[in-house]
Amino acid sequence: MSWFKQLWQNSREKGLYYEKQAEQYLIQHGLKAIERNYLCKYGELDLIMRDGQTLVFVEVKFRKNALRGGANYALSKQKQQRLRRTISHYLAEKKISNQSMRIDYVAITGELNSTLNWFKNVY
């Protein structure tokens, strides 16, 4: 197996691990899981959840350390644009309209003693 493929698999596995951590945290705070890792040509939605009657799209970012702000500052403008297009695609595919929704961001920094920050309604 090439080192690049091995690195990707490790990164993907690590991403899935932290997405599951975020999902469990949000469930503990009253959200209900709907779908995980929705993928389309525009990008990926990490978590889709429900908070009461509100549909919540959750982006999860992990950074191993706090350099340059850690995960709190890892959601780029480009990623935000991709996220909006992906959400639009999801809503069209599922034929969802007139639905209260929001976009949340979960930032996890640190591998051993992780700090998890949940930002509601980021844009």
Asked: is 3-119 a CATH 3.40.1350.10 domain? The reply is yes
Per residue in 64-115, pLDDT tens?
887 777 787 778 888 889 999 999 999 999 999 999 999 999 999 887 778 8
Tokens of 11: 């990164």
The model's pTM: 0.87
